[in-house]
Structure 1
Amino acid sequence: MNSLGENIKNARKHAGMTQHELAKATNLSRSYIGDIEKDRYNPSLSSLKAIASATDTPLEELISGYKYDLSNGELVKIPKDLNRFLQQTEIVFNGDTYNLTEEERAMIMKSLEVAFYAAKKANKK
């Protein structure tokens, strides 16, 4: 999953815009656009809407994998459900594509349970 900054950078490039052009179109500074693209800052909802509009990109696409927390006005990453991910028919791992059977999926889940159990134990120490 791309970061928010990567999503914005990709949208800008897809629109054929430089950071300077996007800054001008959104009334934001070029340096701020650069900082957003490098994930140094999370833009406000109004800035995100301006960027989406200027790049002709749906807002949902820009913030894919994130949600906007209305209580504090910040974007927060949505954790991925690994079990749901493994339910996909094709999975890419280390550059190789796998079409997992139910048996293989179950074996991976058992392996992950062991790995997460060990990680949880190690984190408690």
Structure 2
Amino acid sequence: MKLIVAYIQPQKLNAVKQALYTKEISRMSVTNALGCGQQGGYTENYRGVEIEVNLRKKVRMEIAVNDSFVDTTVETIIEAARTGRIGDGKIFIYPIEECIRIRTGEKGKDAIGG
């Protein structure tokens, strides 16, 4: 079992979700995030004051999958989120020690589903 965490551009969220749905991957958590990386920041003027903005808006997706779905999930995210420009995002893959479904008490790969 793995936890896939992907940081993507907000405007790519719907494309990534739809691509994942076509691969029958539909269980995910999505949150708004701010971050900075190679993309860097920019400056803007607000009411005559110059402001440096170095945290960019991103979307964080968390998807828990069984081992057999890891490659498919990662490839699908890359395919749907890639623009070829700096700031497309990153994907991190973490091992999951255990997963328990609260409603039924199922554990392991049965609790993740799919």
TM-score by length of 1: 0.29
State the structure with bigger RCO (CA 8 A, min sep 6), 1 or 2. Answer: 2
Q: Which of the two has greater strand per residue?
A: 2
Higher-helix-fraction structure: 1
TM-score by length of 2: 0.31
